[in-house]
Amino acid sequence: MIFTETELPGAFIIDVDRMADERGFFARSWCADEFAAHGILMPPLQANVSSNPKRGTLRGMHLQLAPHEETKLVRCTRGAIYDVIVDLREESPTYGQWLGVELTADSFRMLFVPGGFAHGFITLQDNTDVCYQVSAKYAPGFERGLRWNDPAIGIQWPIEPTLVSEKDQSHPDFQLRVPEVVGG
């Protein structure tokens, strides 16, 4: 696998290393040792699939709070998505910043999402499926969300959503922490 660290520390774009011949190709999409070599210790406890019949379906921005925070390994298995993460780790130098990456079934590219990040995506094609491995089980009382179009975050989606759940539309506005003034 080919790991590319993003500008958001701990988040990686992961491409498969294809071994091709006349039959097609073979590649690993998960190896605990290769992930650990990049500081990623993620024993998957759950695997999810999201099936989306319509282009423009937006899901997000979702996260779970500690001690049930999730790390995710996201891959589009049919169609295409624009996958977005937002760093919500208050101690992080990139707190409140977002990253978007296109994932397609044809590219086999994956996005590793660290704990403490909100995650969401918009489908770029009809009939798009997304699979992700998750490090924690769903814990309803620890679920939170950010509004997909919150101006405090300023995510630039590549297309206008045509379908967003009522729940995802009603997430509260995000409040960036204000740095303390020292010796003012």
Write out the catalytic residue numbers.
62, 132
DSSP for residue 169: H
Whole-angstrom distance, CA of residue 26 vs CA of residue 96? 38
Short-list 148, 136, 132, 5, CA closest to 73: 132
The residues facing 63 across adjacent strands are 144
- Other Cβ atoms closer than 10 A to 178: 6
Whole-angstrom distance, CA of residue 31 vs CA of residue 28? 7
